[in-house]
Copies of this chain bind each other. A is one copy, B any other.
Amino acid sequence: MRELGIGLIGTGFMGRAHALAFNNARAVFELPVTLKLAALADADTERAQRCATAWGFAQAHGDWQALIDDPKVDVVAITTPNHLHYPMAMAAIAAGKAVYCEKPLAVSLEQADAMRQAASAAGVVTRVGYNYQHNPMIALARQMIANGDLGEIISFQGEFSEDFMADPASPWSWRCEVEHAGGALADLGSHLLSMARYLVGDVVSVCADTQTVHAQRPAVKGSGNLKPIAVDDQVHALLRFANGARGTVSSSWLKHGYKNHLSFEISGTQGTLAFDQERLNELRVCRVGQDGFQRLLAGPALPGYAAFSPAAGHQLGYNELKTLEVQELIMALAGQGADGTDFEAAWEVERLATAIRVAAREERWVNVNLV
């Protein structure tokens, strides 16, 4: 069986989530390749070493380029701050390596475009971490749509809201910088846009409204020194899909009461389905002829679930979505028909988000293909 060497850049929360996911994917799936946790990189060499030991990586690097150059590394996983996605991914592509990059793909549409073109030219496998799509309930939703269970899809209404910036005293962070792909639309909304595309398909035009509610925030927690904020606190948009469906998306990081409210309803001529990431093991469905929503619970009949538990109701968690994402990556690397979000698809998400920003700024409908 072929061996795949995994190189991971970054040791923060998301780095650890990747490490767990690679470890667990090995344990729970019968993969067509052998995974080797080849190398871990962090600018802090000591931390790199400590995490490598704790997470089971064979080697540590203090320099990410060294990791990319490491011949034992076949796949480069990037979990660093957003502005580093571009140089790292481009270097990995240049080295002919597969890339597994956290979202957002890049901090500008130009970067994203260059990345997808480079990946395409190099013929490397790429994936971007839109982890919520790897939920078995989402797989079920996609299957239902593909099977025509909902008939022709006519509406997608989605929202991704959280409350972590609701307090005006929440200080400035890189998330408040345009140059770091900050703002509610980029940070949260992009997950929703990716989900909309994954489930309903291409979006052809948009109209939108973005708003910065708190125009200043403390430079650091508790400080009286305020920094101006230019990114959006909330966004509302209208979407028209290529297949004729219409819809809305909303995103806010100011919304009290929500912690991870990535939610949507998809309405078709034959039924409706509804999902909320805050109850990620559930899907609410109403098919024609039923007379009310039914709650479906995740179980082993769904794609991916059985790897984690033989029993319905045993609930998957966020980290297991990440493990499912890694499995999909591995299947793609093994050439076994997969449907994850590659750089091409992630660029489409960025283009859509950019179209929303343009539409909001210019107060008009925008053709996504012309952005």
Contact = CB atoms under 8 A, between A and B. Distances in A.
Interface stretch (A61-69, A80-88, A267-275, A341-349): A267-275
A213 B154 contact: yes
B254 A154 contact: yes
A89 interface: no
B238 A257 contact: no
A270 B299 contact: no
Interface string A292-328: 1111110100000000111111111111100000000
Given A16-B27, A288-B166, A319-B309, A207 B260 contact: no
A292 B312 CA distance: 11
Q: Is the interface of A mostly helix, strand, loop or mixed?
A: mixed
The 9 lowest CB-CB distance pairs between A and B, nearest first, are: A259-B313, A260-B313, A317-B317, A257-B286, A259-B312, A294-B294, A314-B318, A316-B317, A256-B272
Contact of A236 (B162, B208, B238, B261): B238
A221 interface: no
Interface in A200-243: 207-209, 211, 213, 233-234, 236-238, 240
A59 interface: no
Interface of A: 13, 16-17, 19-20, 23-24, 26-28, 54-56, 152, 154-155, 157, 159, 161-162, 164, 166-168, 207-209, 211, 213, 233-234, 236-238, 240, 246-248, 250, 252, 254-261, 267-272, 277-281, 284, 286-288, 290-297, 299, 308-320, 363-365
